[in-house]
Structure 1
Amino acid sequence: MDSTNNYARGQIQAAGLPDRQGISLHGMVVFAHEQVAGKGQRGKSWVTGKDSNIALSVLIKPLSLRVSQQFQLSACAAVAVHHFFGKYAGDDTKIKWPNDLYWQDRKAGGILIENIVSGSGSWDWSIIGIGININQVIFPEELPNPVSLKQITGTHFDPCELARELCASLDQQYTRLCTEGFGPVYADYLSCLYKKGGWVKLRKDNRLFEALILSVTPEGRLLVKHAIEEEFDFGQLEWVL
């Protein structure tokens, strides 16, 4: 499969055809044993070797959320991934803003969410793409700091079984978001924020600067302090690790 997100998007498009009217796609999971053109943030690719990692996409119809609340779903997915991975990898598991999965200072996975908004402004669909390194131990040289669950624990895992656990965690956190509101999910997100209270190097445009990570706002902006306190939207900053 080229990309689970691409396949999921195709299912949404096919659902509008006359012979597919009424098909229920909400909650559908697309899992790839091998992915050759996975999508990452900032247009980067995510290649998944055969039966080595988790590569999946979940289709969500966010009826209880507004378009302006997209970060709530992003944080919900990040918390679900964190809870799942942390069960095996321990307390060194963190979420790097906005929704990368980190263990210590190494990247174990990431989330790419693609939203489909209608011309009238309604939030029709969300495709939550998740990639997590499970059994992979050899990575491309251009990846600066990868790590897998096998490298952390010394154990070989069944990616399909772990994918089921991950989906259960996603279902639990999404249900909590819909029934209890964003507060509990947001608190969990902040509690496991990578480098919170620490100094990091960031790049904005061509300017490199050090900043203290303070928090993330409920709207999803990173709050940092350098010369002044400042908020940044995703896409405005690049971490320098």
Structure 2
Amino acid sequence: MSAKEKILEVLDNNKGSYVSGEELATSIGISRAGIWKNIKTLQKEGYLIDAVTNKGYSLRDNNDVFDEDKIRGYLTIPQNSIDIQILKETESTNSAVYKMALTGAKEGLVIISRQQSMGRGHKGHSFYSPAGSGIYLSLLLRPENLSLQDTGFITCMGAAAMCRSLREVSGKEVGIKWVNDLFLNDKKICGILTEGALDLESGSLDFCVTGCGVNLYPPKDGFPKELSEIAGALFEDYTFDAGSRITAGFINHFFEYYEEFKKGNHDGFLNDYRSYSLIIGKDILIEIDKKEYHAHITSIDDKCRLVINYENVSDYHLEPGKGSVRKVF
């Protein structure tokens, strides 16, 4: 265990109380200057540590920094089925997992980053991913006999799993706007992106990567101007272990759905996806083939297609990725 890890352990065991630099130095066996240096490193990593002259250091109760041990402590699925890797920063967790998949990484790889410099969303849109503000994660799947067209199922699974986890941890009415966006109070707080690679011999997917970007807290400097009216956050302030609990909940729920999906049972994630939908039974403005239409949503079918009535067309089944909901009335 490194000096930094030992300091964090002592502070965690005395959470809410102050531990002097001298006490830390004596118990860990380094100088007080070394203690200060490691405290600054921990603060840069996102730990909320108060430093007060003549009192020492105190770890706040509402810390929320991703930690593999904490995430694993909330997992209910077999531990050995998941390989968790936490990065300080990466361009994109989807890209990081994709590269590892090409070198033979196994299903169940989960990469989490504290920030992304080039986070990506649907249709090439960027996803703002500052440090200390969100959950940015991607997982690797190697489904058998799944076509590229069927990746919509994976996206819906991811949306349902994340929505369920966000609701459980926050107690808030997070909902899904078809097909891959999660909203709270009319503001987008999460996006799901699924990408795949084909096996050219079989024509089936060799692997697919599902990524989630969650706005957990408002960015320290606020959202960029172009996002300020449309983006929101799940919490207003740091909430104890929320990131670890939500991440674990997402993994638990996703693989619960996925195991049933592999058996041919789609009801679990589809029923949850429908129950969290923000648009079933609503009138919407939808874009199809670069044209906008006023439509009414009647349901989401068993293939995750939107069933809509628009103009003179009734019960039209719109494939995931073939249209975009612009406005809900």
- TM bin, normalised by shorter chain, reads 0.7 to 0.9
- Structure 2: state its 5+ residue gaps: 1-89
- TM (norm. structure 2) is 0.64
Find the aligned partners of 2:291 and 2:102 in 1 and give their Cα distance: 41
Q: Contact 1:134/1:157 (CA < 8 Å) preserved in 2? A: no
Are positions 1:79 and 2:168 aligned together? no
Are positions 1:233 and 2:315 aligned together? no
Structure 1 residues 219 and 162 mapped into 2: Cα distance closer, same or farther (>3 Å)? closer
Q: Contact 1:150/1:157 (CA < 8 Å) preserved in 2? A: no
Find the aligned partners of 1:162 and 1:92 in 2 and give their Cα distance: 15
Within 5 A, what are the aligned runs for 1:2-13?
A: 2-13=91-102
RMSD: 2.2
Give the drift of 1:175: 2.4
Find the aligned partners of 1:203 and 1:70 in 2 and give their Cα distance: 21
Which amino acid in 2 is paired with 1:156?
T
Are positions 1:126 and 2:215 aligned together? no
Question: Equivalent residue for 1:20?
Answer: none
Are positions 1:175 and 2:259 aligned together? yes
Alignment partner of 1:50 out of 121, 127, 131: 131
Question: Equivalent residue for 1:111?
Answer: 192
Within 5 A, what are the aligned runs for 1:19-168?
A: 25-63=106-144, 65-90=146-171, 92-120=173-201, 121-137=203-219, 138-143=222-227, 144-151=229-236, 155-158=238-241, 159-168=243-252
SS at match of 2:137: strand
SS at match of 1:174: helix
- Structure 1: state its 5+ residue gaps: 16-23
The answer to which of 112-121 and 101-110 deviates more is 101-110
Are positions 1:203 and 2:287 aligned together? yes
Q: How many residues align?
A: 231
Structure 1 residues 188 and 161 mapped into 2: Cα distance closer, same or farther (>3 Å)? closer
Give the drift of 1:169: 2.4
Give the drift of 1:155: 4.9
Find the aligned partners of 1:41 and 1:170 in 2 and give their Cα distance: 20
Q: Contact 1:53/1:131 (CA < 8 Å) preserved in 2? A: yes
Give the drift of 1:61: 0.8
Find the aligned partners of 2:322 and 2:153 in 1 and give their Cα distance: 19
Find the aligned partners of 1:37 and 1:79 in 2 and give their Cα distance: 25
Which amino acid in 1 is paired with 2:143?
P
Structure 1 residues 88 and 117 mapped into 2: Cα distance closer, same or farther (>3 Å)? same
